[in-house]
Amino acid sequence: MDPIEFSRTYEGKIQVLPKVPIKSYDDFAVIYTPGIAKVAEAIHQNRDLSFSLTSRWNTIAIITNGSRVLGLGNVGPEAAMPVMEGKALLFKYLGGVDAIPLPIRAGSVDDFERFAKAIEPALGGINLEDTESPLCFEVLEKLRNVLEIPVWHDDQLGTASAILAGLINAFKIVGKDIGSAKVVLFGAGAANIAAANMLSIYGFDKSKMVMIDSKGPLYAERNDVDKLMFSNRWKYDLAVSTNKEDSRTIEDAFKGADALVAASTPGPDTVKREWISMMAERSIVFALANPVPEIMPDEAIKGGAYIVATGRSDFPNQVNNSLVFPGVFRGVLDSRAKYISYTMAIAASKALANYAERRGISREYIIPRMDEWDMFYEVAAAVADRAREEGYARNPLKYEDYLELARKRIIEAKRNIEMVTRK
Amino acid sequence: MTIRRATKSDIDTLADMFSRMYILNSEFDPLLQVPEDIRQRVRASVEKAISDENSLIYIYEEEEKPYAAIKIKFDEREFYTPSKVARIEEFYVHPAKRRGGLGGTFLNFVEEDLKKMGVTLIIARFPSKNLIAVSFYSKHGFREIHNEFAKSID
């Protein structure tokens, strides 16, 4: 069906429905005034009760200013709405999370901060989405510091977690040591910058990474690095901490590399086959641009790649943030976490990798598929458990309890959606 | 780590460092645009300063590799005391070596050296929108004493 016709037919993709049965007129006195005043009073005495006496425990906002929507660029908040509605649907269907799409008119960190602080009392978390770089880094950093609910930027952390999950298993298959691996990060946008940091926290050696942007490899002495210190300090940090072998050309960067993580512009020839052929034996190639990978899998294999992953579901090994965000939010909401740390995101990556490993990893199966629904329960429980370990959980439970909670809530959400949307 | 006075053999290194500094300055304000031949101009200025008794250039090295440089010019203030001041005209630290305390160590050394020469006042000049420089100098005991306002009347 034509997507515009589809949207016109349904007039949007989500709605708000009550979950409380209304059996008689008298019920309104409990649901609303006068009875509800007692609930308001209780929360006034203890604000944390807002998580258990209202829907706050399961409600998040999807916030964007529409400045970098999909591959469309800066289309503005109104045009971002259908995308955010779609994401809200995925949140509910895959993670059982009530997500409110909120595209806003915001141009600065202060705009985002004011808005997020203002709506924090109604929320259990915030998912920042489709906002241009480096503003997205500044906003994420600010909101993580000033709010007492978890804030996540899916384009950074979601994609980075999926990349790490894929690499954990890919390195197991090729039998190489992560700590001494050379990794090329092709593209210096939000996803790869977050990936570089997350891989480094996990155990990859940052000095052996080489990040490549439209001007070639990033290195400390490159002419534009002085400016980056002011305009994009996240990229600047990588310029001075990666590439210790001082690669100055793309060819130098690829030479002997064990893994390539491309998250840049769509292919098919963004990454050339001859570059792949310069990589080490049994190389790992992640070409994640959508809709067309930077290099098509068959080309990468011809170039000598041993394992290839893309962002697409019609090829093996789909490395996609959709594997991560539903479980991550289920986990932070079930633990009522105050924060999402990098190590909690890494717990999600490990859970994904373990899930696939248990099922039997191979060159064509390094990461779970989207339709392996029970993987989301395990991601949720791993994230919640880590939140508890790190002291961020307002609701500390055992791993098994988190797992059961996630399973119950996701299954219930799916059942509810099926009931409501049944024709 | 070694801090030493620059010699003629350092001219190209200094021209690279200081021209990068001016190119960075141009990012802060359109009135700080640099000409296309900035490197040649900076090189000529450094060459002159090395043999000029009113200038001093210091180089910071680690394992004989230069990572930072400071150029000082001595000025006389006609209407204020003390009249003799050392003005930091150029200060550049290699990106790989920033935020590790190198700048502070280097500046302290230069201050001590200037004290030995009887200089009691040191002045730094940099674009007002360079907030990293504002923070650096404030942290090292400098304070704002002049404002320089500019207006294009082109």
Q: What is the pLDDT of residues B107-117, one digit of tens each?
A: 999 999 999 99
Asked if the bond preceding A34 is cis, omega within 30° of 0, the reply is yes
- Least CB–CB distance from A229: residue in B21, B23, B132: B132
Region(s) of chain A under CATH 3.40.50.10380: 3-149
Could you please state the CATH topology (level 3) that the domain comprising B2-139 is classified under. Aminopeptidase (3.40.630)
State the first-to-last Cα distance of chain B, in angstroms, to the nearest integer: 48
| CA atoms of A106 and B22, how far apart (whole Å) | 33
Structure tokens at A367: 């990461």
Sort strands A59-64 and B84-93 into parallel, antiparallel or unpaired.
unpaired
Q: Is the domain A157-310 a CATH 3.30.565.10 member?
A: no
Residues of A belonging to the active site: 32, 87
Are A220 and B96 inside 8 Å of each other by CB? yes
Cβ distance A371 to A355 under 8 Å?
no
Bridge partners of residue A63, in order along the sequence? A102, A128
pLDDT computed for residue A423 by the predictor: 64
Beta-strand runs (E) in A236-358: 259-262, 283-287, 305-310
- Least CB–CB distance from A239: residue in B21, B95, B132: B95
Q: Please count the residue pairs, one from chain A and one from chain B, whose beta carbons lie less than 8 angstroms apart.
A: 28
**In this predicted complex, what is the ipTM?**
0.85
Domain residue extents for chain B? 2-139
Closest CA to A306 of A355, A268, A270, A257: A257
Q: Is the domain A3-149 a CATH 3.40.50.10380 member?
A: yes
The residues near A355 (Cβ < 8 Å, ≥ 6 apart) are: A368, A372, A375, A378
- What's the predicted TM-score (pTM) here? 0.91
Q: What is the pLDDT of residues A374-419, one digit of tens each?
A: 999 999 999 999 999 999 999 999 999 999 999 999 999 999 999 9
| CA atoms of A260 and A278, how far apart (whole Å) | 11
Cβ distance A119 to A61 under 8 Å?
yes
Residue A1 scores a pLDDT above 90: no
Are A230 and B21 inside 8 Å of each other by CB? no
| CA atoms of A320 and B145, how far apart (whole Å) | 55
For chain A, give the mean pLDDT.
96
User: Is the CA virtual torsion A115, A118, A119, A121 positive or negative?
Assistant: positive
Region(s) of chain A under CATH 3.40.50.720: 157-310
Q: What is the pLDDT of residues A89-101, one digit of tens each?
A: 999 999 999 999 9
Cα angle at A73 between A71 and A79, to 5 degrees? 100
User: Is the CA virtual torsion A358, A364, A368, A370 positive or negative?
Assistant: negative
Bridge partners of residue A305, in order along the sequence? A283
Structure tokens at A91: 């949140």
